[in-house]
Amino acid sequence: MSDQNRDTSLQDVHISEDNMQLIIQGHSIFRLGQLTYWFLTFCTAGTFYILSRWFPVIRIRMSLRSAALESASFVHITSNGKHLSLEPVTNIEVNNSLVSGFDVSKEQCYDDHLGTTTRLNIFEFRHYRFAYVPALSCYVPISQWRDPSWVSGVPTSITGLDEEIIVQRRRLFGECVIDIQEKSYLRLLLDEAINPFYIFQAASIAIWCSEEYYYYSGAILLISAVSIASTLITTKQASRRIRETSVCVCPTLVLRENRWREVDSSQLVPGDIIDISLPGFKVFPCEAILLEGDCIVNESMLTGESVPESKVPLELNNNIFQSIDMAAHTFCPAVLRHILFAGTKLVRTRKTDSAYGGDVLMQRTTAMVIRTGFYTTKGALVRSILFPHPTRFRFYTDALRFVMVLAGLAIIGFIVNTINLRRLGVSTSEIVKKAFDLITIAVPPALPAAMTIGMVFAARRLRKVGIFCISPSRINVASKIAVVCFDKTGTLTEDMLDMTGVHLANQRSGGFLDMQRSAEPLFESLATTDTGSIIDAVGEPGISAIGAIATCHSLHVVDDALVGDPLEIEMLRFTGWRIDEVEDVSGSLPNFSDPLTMTPNHLYCKTVYPPSTLLGEKTNPHYSTGVRIIKCFEFAPELCRASVISKSPHAQNAEIYVKGAPEVLQGLCLIHTIPSDLDQVLARHAQSGSRVIAIAGKPLAMPLDKAALPERSEVECDLIFIGLLLFANKLKPATADVLSELHTAKIRTIMCTGDNPFTAVCVARECGMIGLDMHVFVSRLTPLPAFPLDNDKTLLGTSIETVNLHTPLTAVTWVDSEDACIVLNPVTLIPAPANIDDNAATERALKIAQTRKFCIAITGGVFGYLEKTAQGLETWKRLLMCGTVFARMSPEQKASLVKHLQNLGYISGFCGDGANDISALRTADVGISLSEAEASVAAPFTSRSADIQCVPAVIREGRCSIVTSFSCFKYMALYSIIQFTTCCMLYSYDINLTNGQFLYIDLFTILPIAVCIDRFPPAERLVSKRPSSRLTSKKVLASLLGNIMLVVVFQAVMFLMTEAQTWYHKPKPSIPGDADSTPNEGELNTSLYLLSSFQYLFIGVVFSIGPPYRKSALRSYSFVAVVVLGGGL
């Protein structure tokens, strides 16, 4: 659409963080419409106001007119045609230099007719703030703002921000605090009171009072008041809990106008330089990027990951800030290790001489604020709690439809009984009261509450066993889970691995040496060459296996305890070496005049020392005084490797050691250093259940000062293969039993891990995810023969970047992990012989295909390749249906897998324990995080227990909850039909049930039974059939209609039988000629009342059947007592 034809009052906005497409429409005030609106509100005694609250479009169309966004005083926000909000527009004046942060050119900012300042229209929606930028003629989320100087790699000046800039930025961003404004009790009461449910209840009470049902009306009023009060208190407490969790305000040392000053953290703005080493600074109030010093933080509140993360200062260059998407709720892996997230806890900081503030003698740990308030990652997660994604669940839609059916039935009864009562000569006022009374009977006011109370009880039971739920609506969704994806390490297996041995390569023979079960032989094999270089059994001068194992980690010592990855802790434990973190004061002061060259003049180094038991005559001089780690490239999931640069004081050069996935290190090592039998050795170790990590290294021919500064890609190349580290994957005690229960319930289980596929397959067999008689076909992505890798070697899990995606020669092969003679057809994924002339293999393949006893294990490289090239094809669907093990999967691929399973119609669950699972946890229909944090915002469910017993517990509660909702809904619906039928029959003589009878039925029969049904606990074991979530299913409709027919027929028979008795007296007016004086008491009233009372108890028993999803009703002693007492009375 051309600019001339574009509607200036409308704008489309996509919020990628919530995957929400918004339409913003500008409006201005229409005075005459406003007056008309308030006049109608006054004339209808507030009824019109309530209607406009239910349907906001009424007020918008009456009191507002469409206006250009630039001049609009209100904006109407919709999504997919649905009203979301009407927000007022405020106006602020800012300098044009601030506007340039929205990717506006200087020419646009400083246009002559605009002047030096710009007035920005601002509105907020769900804590997103949008600014109308005149130069762009549209609203822009202010989260997209970035200081233009950051793009060139220059942070805030070493003198800090000026006061004028601070005022301007605070005007735009607001306070640096995630503050949720708590509604007052009066506001909550108003919002709750105008709920259609309570309006209907209020109308019902008014009708009952008009018919002198005072006791019953008073009881319902009391129950409603208690319900409202309970809701208000619960809502207030929940709001207060979220606010206490989200609000973080603390004293902060900030650099402004070349002076360090202490301010409240709420006054921080993007670009501020802060000192995080201030005592008492324990929780980050903002999002910042580390500039000087280093620190260790605990990010469990955000990610569920209990292992503290180390953060290192930013190495400034021209590209680092360009890779930061300010509007995204997270950061790219390249800068993640420099980012200090809001809400994370500070475990330790270490200072360095600071270049900021002019005082070169002062040591600080400095960081630059880049995001504040709700624009931080924590703010995004808090926002997701306040405004959760709507869950499309069939039950709620069907329930609404059924309520509409009941309403239709009430209208029919209204018409029929109006005609009948008019025939009897009943007064108009009585007809109106009885007709409206009939509507309140047909549609019971307590129906919505009865449907949701089951989830409340389920959430309470989950909380008692240490499972916390921040989205109760997901409990019912859990009832339909058909597939659960599990992370492996830390979820299915123990987090702490046992290092079982080292399998070293021998560069002289080109093969492997005997495996070593301890570190002593590695240390004892150390020697010195004639040139003074160290050498060991690997046979490559300048590097050693013990040096690689002891130094290749990112561990830290906090309070005399090691902090870091459990795998790395186990590596260091295997060597017996110890860490001492020291400060290297060598180096020169940075060049203050050129920010691009600024680097810390203090290099924090760690030194690892061999155990004292090995120090002595056998000690190699290279390691007698320890080895210093001068540079650490931490593990990157997208690279599948980590590395360090270390140096012994006695060595001439530093060396680099790299550890990571074996297939990744193959591509980084010199071909001639890779053992010829590596693939066979890898397969043997993986099939034995070991987790395998490869190590490699090389000497660095560069000075120490330069060795601390290179890019990762400069040194992680042309490596010498050292060997393999073997770790035992111990299953958690509960894993096998839980998976067995899920399989019995016909719930599919998938392993989704970053580990080696063969190791994952072995663990899957051990835990029972893959049966012992199942054949597993592992994927291989074969690059072009001409591709410059290891000749024509097939690479397992080759990265997608190494494959030409546009050539038909590229193929994915599927090979049986235990029988290489059998493969899968790459199109149909059906077993076939690798060689069509092999008759024995053909017979075995045919048998496997016929019995369907096979599954596939796919690597991340193959997954990414097929996702791009085969998505939409039948092969892709079959892959998702047959896949049991997904190995070498990145965090993004885990989330993508969950999405693809959902596209196939699966209600999916995901269970994980770490930061690399957070995307998948939030994508799944039911995400369960194993975390020590109570109610971590990483997933809808958080289990304090470290094993997967929480998964069947959530599913059991979900099934119990949905069945409870069904039972209670059907019970309340039948209750209304029974009472509706009774009243309709009594209305034929202008009589009704008495006030006492209504009171007894509702308070002493219906309410106790409904509460007891809701309190039924879940069954102890899962069954294979999932409960229905459709009220319109044949089974549910047959049950409802059958019971309706029974109650109507029995009441009709009772009505006719009573009239046929000799002692029956036809109801007559007590005052002749006055039809309104007919007394309710009589034989017909009594007989129908007693029959209906029995029917209430009968349907209560019918709809309280427990198994297979709930425990037996006989186990609920309160329910049995209510039924027995009710029958006796």
Q: 189-204 pLDDT, tens per residue? A: 887 778 777 787 788 7
801 vs 867, residue with greater confidence? 867
The amino acid occupying position 1082 is G
**Cross-strand partners of 581:** 606
Same domain, 436 and 526: no
Read off the CATH number of the domain in which 320 is found.
Answer: 2.70.150.10
pLDDT confidence band for 797 (50 / 70 / 90): very low
Distance of alpha carbon 170 from alpha carbon 142, whole angstroms:
12
Say whether pLDDT at 527 is over 50: yes
For residues 319-337, give the mean pLDDT.
Answer: 70
Say whether pLDDT at 405 is over 90: no
Q: Give residue 690's Cα distance to chain centre.
A: 31
DSSP code of 373? Answer: G
Same domain, 125 and 186: no
* Dihedral sign (CA 946, 952, 953, 954): positive
Read off the CATH number of the domain in which 629 is found.
Answer: 3.40.1110
Provide, rounded to the nearest whole percent, the portion of the chain with pLDDT above 90.
15
Residue 5 CB-density burial (10 A; 0-12 exposed, 13-18 middle, 19+ buried): exposed
Same domain, 867 and 900: no
Helix axes 1117-1128 and 1083-1102, enclosed angle (nearest 10): 160
Three-point CA angle 548, 335, 325, nearest 5°: 155
Locate the DSSP E strands across 616-756. 627-636, 641-647, 654-660, 690-700, 720-728, 748-752
pTM score over 0.75: no
Distance of alpha carbon 495 from alpha carbon 570, whole angstroms:
11
Same domain, 530 and 673: yes
Strand arrangement, sheet containing 345-350 = 309-311, 294-298, 345-350
Q: Give residue 193's Cα distance to chain centre.
A: 33
Note the pLDDT of residue 330.
67
Number of domains, the chain: 7
Whether 160 contacts 261, CB under 8 Å: no
99 vs 619, residue with greater confidence? 99
On whether residue 167 sits in a domain, the answer given is no
Note the pLDDT of residue 596.
32
On whether residue 679 sits in a domain, the answer given is yes
pLDDT tens, position by position, 488-512: 877 888 877 788 889 999 888 888 9
Note the pLDDT of residue 706.
56
On whether residue 703 sits in a domain, the answer given is yes
Same domain, 590 and 735: no
pLDDT tens, position by position, 66-89: 999 988 999 999 887 787 889 999
Say whether pLDDT at 743 is over 90: yes
Three-point CA angle 438, 444, 448, nearest 5°: 155
Same domain, 258 and 310: yes
Residue 117 CB-density burial (10 A; 0-12 exposed, 13-18 middle, 19+ buried): middle
For residues 815-838, give the mean pLDDT.
Answer: 84
Same domain, 765 and 743: no
Note the pLDDT of residue 1091.
93
Q: Which residues are catalytic?
A: 487
pLDDT tens, position by position, 688-738: 777 889 999 998 876 655 555 677 888 898 899 999 999 887 888 899 999
Structure tokens at 536: 């060991």
Residue with structure tokens 């449907």? 451
The amino acid occupying position 254 is V
Structure tokens at 736: 């096998």
DSSP code of 1004? Answer: I
pLDDT confidence band for 26 (50 / 70 / 90): very high
Say whether pLDDT at 138 is over 50: yes
Whether 834 contacts 820, CB under 8 Å: yes
Q: How many residues does the chain have?
A: 1129
**Cross-strand partners of 353:** 363
pLDDT tens, position by position, 577-614: 888 876 543 333 333 233 333 333 334 468 888 886 55
Neighbours of 1037 (CB within 10 A): 13
Q: Rg for the chain (alpha carbons), in Å?
A: 36
Find, among 183, 198, 276, the residue nearest to 236 by Cα: 183
Say whether pLDDT at 838 is over 80: yes
3-17, 27-41, 399-413, 854-868: which is most confident: 27-41
- List alpha helices for 280-376, DSSP H: 300-303, 333-336
On whether residue 662 sits in a domain, the answer given is yes
pLDDT confidence band for 414 (50 / 70 / 90): confident
Note the pLDDT of residue 758.
77
pLDDT tens, position by position, 225-236: 776 777 777 777
**Cross-strand partners of 781:** 795, 812
Render 417-440 in DSSP notation, one character per residue: HHHHHHHTT--HHHHHHHHHHHHH
Task: Evaluate the omega torsion of the peptide bond into residue 1108 and state whether it is cis, within 30 degrees of 0.
Answer: yes
Average pLDDT, the chain: 80
Domain boundary (944, 978, 1013) is at: 944
Say whether pLDDT at 969 is over 90: no
Whether 348 contacts 628, CB under 8 Å: no
Q: Give residue 869's Cα distance to chain centre.
A: 28
On whether residue 3 sits in a domain, the answer given is no
Same domain, 698 and 745: no
Note the pLDDT of residue 565.
79
Distance of alpha carbon 166 from alpha carbon 150, whole angstroms:
17
On whether residue 174 sits in a domain, the answer given is no
27 vs 435, residue with greater confidence? 27
pLDDT confidence band for 739 (50 / 70 / 90): very high
Distance of alpha carbon 433 from alpha carbon 978, whole angstroms:
20
Note the pLDDT of residue 152.
67
pLDDT tens, position by position, 139-190: 988 888 888 777 666 677 788 888 888 988 898 888 898 888 877 888 888 8
For residues 666-677, give the mean pLDDT.
Answer: 89
Read off the CATH number of the domain in which 480 is found.
Answer: 3.40.50.1000
2 vs 372, residue with greater confidence? 372
Find, among 627, 658, 685, 562, the residue nearest to 308 by Cα: 562
Q: Torsion-angle region of residue 293: left (phi > 0), alpha (psi -120 to 50) or beta?
A: left
Read off the CATH number of the domain in which 1023 is found.
Answer: 1.20.1110.10
**Cross-strand partners of 15:** 20
pLDDT tens, position by position, 347-370: 888 888 777 776 655 788 888 998
Note the pLDDT of residue 556.
83
Say whether pLDDT at 836 is over 70: yes
Find, among 152, 10, 22, the residue nearest to 77 by Cα: 22
- SS3 state of residue 604: strand
Find, among 676, 660, 677, 750, the residue nearest to 712 by Cα: 660
Find, among 1016, 1013, 1006, 1008, the residue nearest to 968 by Cα: 1013
Locate the DSSP E strands across 294-385. 294-298, 309-311, 339-340, 345-350, 352-353, 363-364, 366-371
146 vs 907, residue with greater confidence? 907
On whether residue 170 sits in a domain, the answer given is no
Note the pLDDT of residue 703.
63
Helices then strands, counting H and E runs in the chain, come out as 37, 45
Same domain, 802 and 845: yes
pLDDT tens, position by position, 207-221: 778 777 777 777 777
Same domain, 771 and 744: no
On whether residue 158 sits in a domain, the answer given is no
Note the pLDDT of residue 784.
40
Distance of alpha carbon 321 from alpha carbon 337, whole angstroms:
14
Residue 475 CB-density burial (10 A; 0-12 exposed, 13-18 middle, 19+ buried): buried
Phi, psi angles (nearest 5°) of residue 1088 = -70, -35
Same domain, 507 and 648: yes
Distance of alpha carbon 251 from alpha carbon 280, whole angstroms:
8
Q: Minimum mean pLDDT among 372-376, 683-687, 806-810: which range?
A: 806-810
Note the pLDDT of residue 1.
39
Q: Minimum mean pLDDT among 279-288, 958-967, 1032-1041: which range?
A: 1032-1041
Secondary structure of 213-264 in HEC code, one letter for each residue: CHHHHHHHHHHHHHHHHHHHHHHHHHHHHHHHHHCCCCEEEEEECCEEEEEE
Note the pLDDT of residue 886.
93
b/e code 257-288 from CB counts within 10 Å (16+ = b)? eeebeeeebbbbbbbbbbbbbbeebebbbbbb
**Cross-strand partners of 298:** 345
Q: Minimum mean pLDDT among 297-301, 693-697, 834-838: which range?
A: 297-301
Domain boundary (728, 744, 765) is at: 728
Neighbours of 427 (CB within 10 A): 13
Distance of alpha carbon 935 from alpha carbon 943, whole angstroms:
8
Phi, psi angles (nearest 5°) of residue 582 = -125, 170
Say whether pLDDT at 133 is over 50: yes
11-15, 719-723, 803-807: which is most confident: 719-723
Give the range of the structural domain holding residue 929, as residue numbers without chain letter. Answer: 473-494+730-753+893-944
Distance of alpha carbon 601 from alpha carbon 363, whole angstroms:
11
885 vs 328, residue with greater confidence? 885
Whether 774 contacts 852, CB under 8 Å: no
Say whether pLDDT at 741 is over 90: yes
Say whether pLDDT at 821 is over 60: yes
330-334, 450-454, 464-468, 709-713: which is most confident: 464-468
Same domain, 528 and 543: yes
Find, among 216, 192, 193, 191, the residue nearest to 444 by Cα: 216
Domain boundary (386, 418, 448) is at: 386
Structure tokens at 344: 């994370």
Secondary structure of 942-1001 in HEC code, one letter for each residue: EECCCCCCHHHHHHHHHHHHHHHHHHHHHHHHHHHHHHHHHHHHHHCCCCCCCHHHHHHH
**Cross-strand partners of 563:** 556
Structure tokens at 155: 């942070």
- SS3 state of residue 636: strand
